[in-house]
Amino acid sequence: MRTQVGIVGAGPAGLVLGRLLERAGIESVVLERRSRSYVESRVRAGVLEHGTADLLEEIGTGARMRREGLVHRGIELRFGRAGHRIDLAGLTQKTITVYGQQEVVKDLIAARLGSGLPLEFETEVTAITALTGDHPVIHHGGTQLTCDFVAGCDGGHGVSYGSVPAGAFTRFERAYPFAWLGILARAPAASDELIYARHERGFALHSMRTPEIIRMYLQVAPDADLADWPDARIWDELNTRLATDTGFDLSPGPVLERGVTPMRSLVTEPMRYGRLFLAGDAAHIVPPTGAKGLNLAVADVRVLAEALIAHYRDGDDRLLDEYSARCLRRVWRAQRFSSWMTTMLHRRPDDDEFAHRLQLAELAYVTGSTAAATTLAENYVGWAVDSAGPYS
């Protein structure tokens, strides 16, 4: 088999890249080791930056998002039993859209299959070879796919990263001393916007996927056992951490899914080796507090698509050579913001009263200063892609 661009991984990064290349007339094959049903059902991120939502619409996969997604014009920071709204739209003239990652993936899969383009599920890639030559080879299921370029969109433990010689990449990593216990529940949202709560017992987040399906998180220990967290305890703890002096009450409902997510940061440098380009979680992971993971993945492949189009259309490889540096500028900015949000809202096990008071002072400043609130808002709604020109 032969194609121009081999894409390993059918998450948002791989599927958006495939769509961008399709619109530019560039051939690609997408290989995914999981089943279609698994990929379309795994619950991940749910906040789309302003630019991400616009891009999905531009590439023809945003119609359902615009119908069903929830447009939010602000978020709330809650501390000291009081809520403080950050007016995203008023401060930046931009909004966010709450629309689950699995829904984004469903739309992208439907578009690719509707175009009759190769998308192979339950296909295990075992190795990627000849990465420093002109035609790297993706090995899967006893078959070889020869490409001009490979896009590694298969996560931090995927075969793409593992196919590179030791020492070719440097990884910068930080593990946080806490995790998130997340639930998806059939219950009415208690707020029209996301609530980020700092509480003496730990962080909590009130989010939603639809008006009837909510996504809630609690800060827990990294080794938390779900068996120790029955439904009643989860709802009680959420109500405690989200409580206000003016009254706030969640309406419990059936828990549809639950899990514990470790909190860590990771950056791989560079994001290229030969003709392999890493994108999304294969290159970087951010703590979810800043809502950047999916959005960074989409930004990566937007930059990569622009570079590949310049190669095929103009014979110009300058953007391919600049890919890593351009992406990493955004990645480190997202890491800074995500780390700041995480530090400001979570209690570390070794924090003393001085550290707690500093957190409260920081939150009071962010919510009391227009300049500080604007900084948070600008980062939260997202930044313009570092673009060297039109991508199609």
Q: Which residues are catalytic?
A: 72, 196, 288, 292, 380
How far apart, in whole angstroms, are the C-alpha atoms of residue 170 and residue 142? Answer: 31
CB-neighbour burial class of residue 321 (10 A; exposed 0-12, middle 13-18, buried 19+): exposed
Residues 6+ apart with CB under 8 A from 365: 372
Give the sign of the dihedral formed by CA 90, CA 91, CA 92, CA 98: negative
Q: What angle in degrees, to the nearest 10, is found between the helix axes of 318-345 and 293-314?
A: 170
Residues 6+ apart with CB under 8 A from 172: 265, 266, 267, 269
Distance between first and last Cα of the chain: 26
- Other Cβ atoms within 10 Å of 318 Cβ, number: 11
How far apart, in whole angstroms, are the C-alpha atoms of residue 57 and residue 99? Answer: 13
Task: Give the length of the chain.
Answer: 392
Complete DSSP assignment for 7-71: EE--SHHHHHHHHHHHHTT--EEEE-SS-HHHHHH-----EE-HHHHHHHHHTT--HHHHHHSEE
Residue 282 contacts residue 154 (beta carbons within 8 Å): yes
- Other Cβ atoms within 10 Å of 80 Cβ, number: 14
Complete DSSP assignment for 210-227: SSSEEEEEEEE-TT--GG
How far apart, in whole angstroms, are the C-alpha atoms of residue 198 and residue 214? Answer: 19
